[in-house]
Amino acid sequence: MSLWRALRELITGRPDPFDCEGEDCLPGHRVEDADYAMALIGLGAKMAKADGEVTRDEVAAFAQVFRAPPGSEAPLRQAFNLAKQTTLGFDGYARRLARRFRHHPAVLEDVLDGLFHIAKADGRVTEDEAEYLETVAEIFGFRAREFDRIRVAHLGAPEDDPFVILGVAHDADEATVKRAWRRAAAQNHPDRLIARGAPTELQRIADEKMAAINAAYREIQKRMALEKA
């Protein structure tokens, strides 16, 4: 079951009859995924609290990426309001999701994208928020260079460094760059997000990330061609 469909099921109390993916169809996973969906709500709510104040913009951003089905907004709002009181326990939520989706890094990157969306909602990302995001990424198993790639896609990089955007070293060869481009493009393609049941706002973010990924790859190709000339 995808994390986002599990969230909808948790809120509505109704299973998605079309949601069944390989090993995730095993008995008992629906109960477990409701627990993971609650962890997702908690992680998002505590992201909003990371800088000490939960603003209206952050609440609205949360609602965009963790959207409740029509008529089911109250349970989501109740869970959010409970979790937003403190950031304590956010690492436990992150570890719970990391264990469940350890073989699905694209889903974990979806979650990070949602957290970045909340952090950016009030127009800036504070040091406390940046530390929160970095800690979650580390718990999720993302290496520093991978986190830099995700961060740059949301916040930009000094001089728009294309190597950082693809998450490769500046001395990477053509084959390494191409593999990084293919991997990043595959994980962030909007069609993949739709298949994972991600909300519309994350699909818009994916469009922006894809544009940055493709532009970075073209820029690196251009620089490598000039070096060969």
Per domain, the residue ranges of the chain are 1-142, 145-229
User: Which of 34, 214, 215, 212 has the alpha carbon at shortest distance from 113?
Assistant: 212
8 vs 40: CA distance, rounded Å: 12
Give the predicted TM-score (pTM) of the model: 0.74
Contact 141, 94 (CB under 8 A): no
Return d(Cα 168, Cα 166) in angstroms, integer.
6
In whole angstroms, give the CA distance from residue 160 to residue 153: 10
Terminal-residue alpha carbon distance, the chain: 51
3-state DSSP call for residue 84? coil
Long-range interactions of 32-38: CB distance < 8 A, separation 24+? 32/100, 33/1, 33/3, 33/6, 33/9, 33/100, 34/6, 34/9, 34/10, 35/96, 36/3, 36/6, 36/96, 36/97, 36/100, 37/3, 37/6, 37/7, 37/9, 37/10, 38/10, 38/79
Cα distance between residue 107 and residue 101, in whole Å: 7
Is 37 within 8 Å of 68 (Cβ atoms)?
no
Per-residue pLDDT of the chain (229 residues; tens, 9 = 90+): 456 666 666 565 555 443 444 444 433 444 456 677 788 889 999 999 999 989 999 999 998 888 776 777 787 888 889 899 998 899 999 999 999 888 888 889 989 999 999 999 988 899 999 999 999 999 999 999 889 888 988 887 655 688 888 888 888 999 999 999 998 888 878 787 777 777 777 778 888 888 888 988 999 999 998 888 7
According to DSSP, residue 67 is labeled: P
